[in-house]
Structure 1
Amino acid sequence: MSKITQSFGVNVFNDVVMRERLPKSIYVKLRKTIDEGVALDAEVAEVVANAMKDWAIEKGATHFTHWFQPMNGRTAGKLESFISPKKEGTAITEFSGKELIKGEPDASSFPNGGLRTTFEARGYTVWDCTSYAFLVEDEGGAVLYIPTAFCSYTGDALDKKTPLLRSMEAVSKEALRVLRLLGNGVSSRVIPMVGAEQEYFLIDKEIFKRRKDLIYAGRTLIGAKPPKGQELEDHYFGSINEKVAAFMKEIDEELWKVGVSARTKHKEVAPNQYEIAPVFTNANVAADHNQIIMETLLKVANRHGLVCLLHEKPFKGVNGSGKHVNFSLMTNDGINLFDPGKTPHDNLQFLLFLAAVIKGVDEYQDLIRISASNPGNDHRLGANEAPPAIVSIFLGEQLTEILEQIEKGEIISSRGREKLETGVITLPVLKKDTTDRNRTSPFAFTGNKFEFRMVPSSASISDAVTVLNTILADKLGEFADRLQNSKDVIKEAKNIIRETVKEHKRIIFNGDGYSKEWIEEAERRGLLNLKSSVDAIKYLISKKNMDLFERHKVLNKNEIFSRYEVMLEGYIKQLLIEARTMVEIFVKDIVPSVSRYMKDLAKASFELKNMGFNAEVQLDLLRTIDELFKRANNQCDALKKLISQAESFEEDSYNKACFIKDNIFTQMETLRELIDDLEKILDRNYWPMPTYGDIMFN
């Protein structure tokens, strides 16, 4: 245990290191910037930069990088050496405050959605001092990573982090207004706290190399269902084999060194599927940590002869992967604003913040869905324990009963914690939680936080958290305005809660999100059912949503339109890559293999006939394959034509994305069914790639 605690954060320029290496006056000023949002002093930056450089070099670092998160959802950064040559041919190490605060990477090849043109290449990275710098060590050496925001020459956000930081300021501002009006004069900041569970698959590297679809698209575009999938439910929380255990051990060690508090690891439901979860932390740090987790999973898997798949649905017919973004609001002095306490019916502060969530999620259910949208998630949502595309809130029995009482105008009591009786004398009696969990809910209250279960496994969590922060800022701002203009704050707060329940209870659903009845009920309630990310994306540029982001200075109009275009462009490019990959696999792999098998089968049938056998079984099989093969070839030709149409499409991005969704997406599914049928009957020695059984049970 002492080894674990001693190694945790050893490669992080954290608060302990800063206290040791910075003059006290500089340290105090920097903490004021981090904790209170005070503007950063240039003198402070200069001293911090020098201390950071010395610390990194002592640990073997030769380079630093401004590490940022462009709109493609990944991370980026160019490496710069600490070396500065001198005239006499020698060199010194230098790292100035200016270099710490600002970098100038080439922004020309990052997604920008029209915010800038190709010839306007300049972009700026700006130090985010609220997220600690850290050291990454690998075979390439040691590099100092400095978390930064990324903006254009005009100041527009070109990244995921800048809107997230803006949204954190917005929700803190409006939450504090509410707290002040409720009598809290002590807390000075409200911080969104996030813990993001990360699901992923591991497969053998050699098998991966033989699947072009996994290489190019990140998911299997074809693959017949194997005799066994996850039906026996024997993988979830099961024992971990030694190869994967060794991988997980190294993951823990790598993450702990850079201050990522990886705490939970286990097998997930599908074969070869796993999950890792860290401890809660500030939202922007959590976003950084989740990116570090994903990059570490990919890198370490390679060292162990494995490949980590972060796609939302790499395999059809089994669970897909997502992120469960656990979200709460915490004051700087430790008050969890989503903690109901022992008597939630008497906890006015909690009920008011709960009302803000209910009202915000209902009014902005389209934005919630958009924040969880990408092409991969379209395959995942609505099945195999992934939540449906319909946004709703699960509150559980206790809170639902309280809200029903509030709606009627009288709060009597709330359900207490019952004892869990197991019927076994030697087992201790436990107190049950006040409500069960609902794994089919997109947005579930889980005791003292909300769990947003829709977020895609490959995506940055920044989009989802930015939306949650912004809609809460908006509703809390509305509530604060009403409380401020009221003569009786307590009475007005109760009125707000009661009105919210009456007007927005349609968003609360505690039942089975997979049932047909819920789909029908949701439609009656007027809830949106945006099955495709393309269906959702169009709502981003609605006046209501644009006004929301502009009102709280999270995104301006240009930045909103840029994200709209980037999302559509991402969908278009991903689907076209998948379609072209599918055609290539069929033409270059399936056609030769099936032809060779048919030829050998025909030869065998002919020889059997000559030997006096009727060979009807072989001939029937040959006819079946021939018919499937012919149909598959026709469908492949149709897919080729649709790809050509899409590539020459001259209308706007949205219409192009709709064309691809309605035509190419469905055509790929049709072709896949035929190829999978061929796989089921072809001799395994002729099939040109590893099957689902080979991949998932290797």
Structure 2
Amino acid sequence: MSTIRFNALKEALKRVPVEIKEEERKSEAFGKNVFNEHSMRQFMTKEAYQSVMDAIEFGKKIDRKVADQVAAAMKDWALSKNATHYTHWFQPLTGATAEKHDAFFETMGNGRAMEKFGGGELVQQEPDASSFPNGGIRNTFEARGYTAWDPTSPAFIYGTTLCIPTIFVAYTGEALDNKTPLLRALQAIDSSATAVCKYFDKNVTKVNASLGWEQEYFLVDAALAISRPDINLTGRTLLGHSPAKGQQLDDHYFGSIPRRVLSYMRDMEQECMLLGIPVKTRHNEVAPNQYELAPIFEEANLAVDHNSLLMDVMERVAQKHNFRVLFHEKPFAGINGSGKHNNWSLATSTGINLLSPGKTPMKNLQFLTFFVNTIKAVHDYEELIRASIASASNDHRLGANEAPPAIISVFIGSQLSAVLDELENVTNGKLSPEEKTDLKLNIVGKIPEILLDNTDRNRTSPFAFTGNKFELRAVGSWSNCAGSMTVLNTIVAKQLKDFKVEVDALIEKKKLKKDEAIFNVLREYIKASKKIRFEGNGYGDEWEVEAVKRGLSNNKTTPEALKAKKSAKTIALFEEMGVMSKIETEARHEIELEEYILRIQIEGRVLGDIARNHVIPTAIKYQNTLIENVSGLKNIFGAEFEAHAKEQMDLIKKISMHIAGINSKVESMTEERKKANKLHGQEAADAYCNIVKPCFDEIRYHCDKLELLVDDELWPLAKYRELLFTR
């Protein structure tokens, strides 16, 4: 094999697992590097502590005097942990996190210095707003933007830096990050859900959205990854023939975790414990060298922050173990890709999960209320949900018989479907005593028993009810959870708001009792949202046909799906719920469309480079060897040489054919890319999606065929069998 590939494989095979000594229990390490409630009590004054807790629990503002006290306490705590710098840690619209480090250092004159960090530095910083994606909100010459402290997400120490979670906004006030709209959406769901909860429990003062993400990922040896320009520049393999053995034996899933991988996991989990990320589950996933980890559920804002931080931790720890983490949704063709299932629920200040039935009919009616309203919200905004999980990388995964299809539907199980079918027949208006008894005892009252037996799940459903939560299974592994969580919480908040208006109107105008009004409104919602419910196989062709009949969208590509993000319906939704202005909504659409274009453009350039500068020269080199062999046989056998050189000559012809195919397709792709680059916005995205991107498969076909024909000793790129089975 080539020298680079040989050395990479040799390095990979001699890796020794890094032994990690766990000197303390996870419970003892948990949150040690987090400025949490325990640390605040130790370092803050009572006034400062109470002010921060009021900000967290009730959204109250912290005045400047108290901010100085908080900053002083935070600095003392950070210095006690050997921190040397601080940073505002935020999530710009790049999908990654951002930080600028400043030292706890100030000169005093006379050659003296001191550690300094005040309320001003804590509350607000000023990064360059024009250097991050802004979708036209800011001109290049208008650089001012602000990061502002988010006290609801605790500060933490990462390495020797105090990281302060913040929002990021333009000088003119528009959100330039993922966190700000999420916080607004969480405020909206709190307001709407709390108002509805008052029907059932007057003591509820707050409702929190909770999130439990499941992070799937691949691990490949770092040396092997470096030998692949496509992995380094795009996060996935743009070519490579499938190995003889892939995942067909199902022997990797839940199998014994390889020692080197386990060593990495233990090291990474230790870092997570210190940072307060409550990771709990780890296991082998379906594909070779694919793994998953999952945490305990948390409040959604904190969970989103933790997932963003986790991805950075995973990459940094991987370097120590000579691994490369691949978060791309489809890094290898022919085997399962990776997702990030988002498990979502709502919890009250009284400790009740609103998507879990209770012990009384009234508690079960509360469950039904939030259950049905969520389904109705998904029904009304299914295209927006599809848009929220759209990306160039996730397009490879959706509907690929390993992930949910691009058609958004809701799975609730046959038993709960039967309950909703019965509720469709609720009388329009006041209920008779018999109807009340039947509803409360025989239908609503039996929901806990139904859920106890309703354990089956539908892995082909993009939005499935799984007992006490809904699971949005279509989110991509590379994505920031904030996007989909902002949409989900906003649409449910809007739905609950409308629900309360309708119930109150029935109580006031038609003089219905509260539970009668609730049943009547729920009945109409069940009827109106019935077409979004689907219990069958989401992978089947029949479902696509059925979805068209039902009027459901099937936006298979990102450019197609993103149109819903700038629709009048979406803009009105976000403006009504106070989540995003029209300018902010349109800016995000422009940014995501541009990102799609750039990712496909980069992949096209990388593929063209590899095909022409790696694959073709290698193929020609091997072809020349064959030609020399044929020439030698001719010298030996004379006119009879063809009988002895037939196989070699066939190989030469095949290699020539594939080389010609690569050259022709790369040339076509390059020309189409030049045409697409002259277009803008939706037209450019459509051109890259429908004209440029299809060239990739054609180029790959010829490259992968050459991989099978060319001498393994010459092939320059690490092969699938090495990337997937070297651990």
- Give me the TM-score of the superposition, normalised by structure 1: 0.95
- Structure 2 matches for 1:416-455, cutoff 5 A? 433-455=453-475
Residue equivalent to 2:70:
48
| 2:118 pairs with one of 96, 100, 106 | 96
**Conservation of the 8 A alpha-carbon contact between 2:209 and 2:347:** yes
In the alignment, does 2:499 pair up with 1:479? yes
Structure 2 partner of 1:391: 408
Preserved contact between residue 43 and residue 76 of structure 2 (Cα < 8 Å):
no
1:671 matches 2:705: no
Cα drift, residue 26 of structure 1: 2.4
3-state DSSP of counterpart to 2:219: strand
Q: For residue 321 of structure 1, what is the aligned residue in structure 2?
A: 338
Contact 1:313 1:377 in 2 (8 A): yes
Q: CA deviation at 1:93?
A: 1.0
Q: How far 1:686 sits from its partner (Å)?
A: 2.1
Is 1:580 aligned to residue 605 of structure 2? yes
Matched, 1:457 2:485: no
Paired position in structure 2 for 1:644: 674
Partner of 1:173: 191
Kept in 2: contact 1:84–1:93 (CA 8 A): yes
SS of equivalent to 2:131: coil
1:371 aligned partner: 388
Matches within 5 A, 1:592-603: 592-603=617-628
Deviation at 1:553, TM superposition (A): 0.8
Could you say what the CA RMSD is over the residues aligned between the two structures, in angstroms? Answer: 1.5
Tell me if 1:9 matches 2:31: yes
Tell me by how many angstroms 1:610 deviates. Answer: 2.6
Partner of 1:218: 235
Partner Cα distance (1:243, 1:253) in 2: 16
CA contact (8 A) 2:358 2:448 kept: no
Alignment match, 2:659: 629
Pick from 334, 339, 342 the counterpart of residue 356 of structure 2.
339
1:432 to partner: Cα distance = 6.1
Cross-structure match for 1:24: 46
Q: Deviations over 1:430-485 (max 9, x none)?
A: x9642301111101111100110111111100001000110011000001111222
**Cα distance in 2 between the residues matched to 1:546 and 1:458:** 26
> How many pairs does the alignment contain?
679
Matches within 5 A, 1:54-453: 54-137=76-159, 142-180=160-198, 182-341=199-358, 347-409=364-426, 411=439, 412-413=442-443, 414=446, 433-453=453-473
For residues 277-321 of structure 1, give each alpha carbon's deviation from its aligned partner in whole angstroms, at most 9, with x where no partner exists.
Answer: 111111110010001110011111111011000111000111111
Q: CA deviation at 1:609?
A: 2.8
Residues 366-405 of structure 1, C-alpha deviation per residue, up to 9 Å, x if partnerless? Answer: 1101110110000011124211111001101221111011
User: Aligned to 1:456, what secondary structure does the other structure show?
Assistant: coil
The offset of 1:486, in angstroms, is 2.6
Counterparts of 2:574 and 2:361, CA distance in 1? 32
Structure 1 vs Structure 2: percent identity of aligned residues? 44
> CA contact under 8 A between 1:398 and 1:435: conserved in structure 2?
no
Distance in 2 separating the partners of 1:439 and 1:473: 26
Please, which moves more after superposition, 671-680 or 52-61? 671-680
Whole-Å separation in 1 of the counterparts to 2:635 and 2:452: 75
Residues of 2 paired with 1:324 and 1:120: CA distance? Answer: 38
Could you say which residue in structure 2 is the equivalent of 1:683? 711
Query: What's the counterpart of residue 724 of structure 2?
Result: 696
- Do 1:601 and 1:622's aligned partners in 2 also have CA atoms closer than 8 Å? yes
- C-alpha contact (below 8 Å) 1:337/1:353 kept by paired residues: yes
Distance 2:698 2:706 in 1: 13
Task: Pick from 562, 582, 587 the counterpart of residue 557 of structure 1.
Answer: 582
Q: How big is each residue's C-alpha offset from its partner over 1:567-587, in whole Å with a ceiling of 9 and x where there is no partner?
A: 001001100000000110011
Native 8 Å contact 2:330 2:337 kept in 1? yes
Instruction: Measure, in 1, the Cα distance between the counterparts of 2:665 and 2:503.
Output: 63
* Deviation, structure 1 residue 341: 3.3
Aligned residue among 659, 662, 682 for 2:690: 662
Q: After superposition, what is the alpha-carbon deviation per residue over 1:460-516, rounded to whole angstroms, capped at 9, x for unaligned?
A: 000010001100110000011112223222111101111111111110111111011
Q: Which moved more, 1:406-415 or 1:584-593?
A: 406-415
How far apart in 1 are the matches of 2:484 and 2:275?
Answer: 24
CA distance in 1, matches of 2:718, 2:120: 53
| Residues in 1 aligned to 2:123 and 2:486: alpha-carbon distance in whole angstroms | 24
Residue 408 of structure 1: how far off its partner (Å): 2.8
Paired position in structure 2 for 1:546: 571
The 2-side partners of 1:70 and 1:247 are apart by 29
Asked if 2 retains the 8 angstrom alpha-carbon contact of 1:70 and 1:158, the reply is: yes
What is the CA–CA distance in structure 1 between the aligned matches of 2:666 and 2:454, rounded to whole Å? 54
- Say if 2:357 and 2:448, in contact at 8 Å, map to a contact too: no
Shift in Å at residue 102 of structure 1?
Answer: 0.4
Hey, what does 2:3 align to over in structure 1?
none
Mean CA deviation greater in 288-297 or 378-387: 378-387
User: Does residue 1:510 correspond to 2:538, yes or no?
Assistant: no
Per-residue CA deviations over 1:35-76 (Å, capped at 9, x if unaligned) read 111122222211110000000011111100000000111000
Q: In structure 2, do the counterparts of structure 1 residues 520 and 332 end up closer, same or farther at CA, with 3 Å as the change threshold?
A: same
Aligned counterparts of 1:384 and 1:622: Cα–Cα separation in 2: 37
Contact persistence 1:416–1:434 (CA under 8 A) = no
Which structure 2 residues correspond to residues 479-498 of structure 1 after superposition, within 5 A?
Answer: 479-487=499-507, 488=512, 489-498=514-523
CA distance in 2, matches of 1:552, 1:639: 44
1:469 aligns with one of 463, 471, 489: 489
- Structure 1 counterpart of 2:26, one-letter code: I
Looking at structure 2, the residues matched to 639 and 342 of structure 1 have their Cα atoms a distance apart, in angstroms, of: 63
Distance 1:547 1:636 in 2: 44
CA displacement at 1:187 relative to structure 2: 1.2
* 8 Å CA contact 1:101, 1:127 repeated in 2: yes
1:323 and 1:163 map into 2 onto residues whose CA distance is 20
Contact 1:200–1:274 at 8 Å: present in 2 too? yes
Matches of 2:362 and 2:602, distance apart in 1? 53
Partner residue, 2:429: none
1:669 and 1:534 mapped to 2: Cα distance?
A: 19
Amino acid of the structure 1 residue aligned with 2:231: L
Deviates more, 1:17-26 or 1:343-352: 343-352
Q: CA separation in 2, counterparts of 1:293 and 1:280?
A: 15
Q: Which residue of 2 aligns with 1:421?
A: none
1:2 CA drift (Å)? 5.9
Q: Name the SS for the 2:97 alignment partner.
A: coil
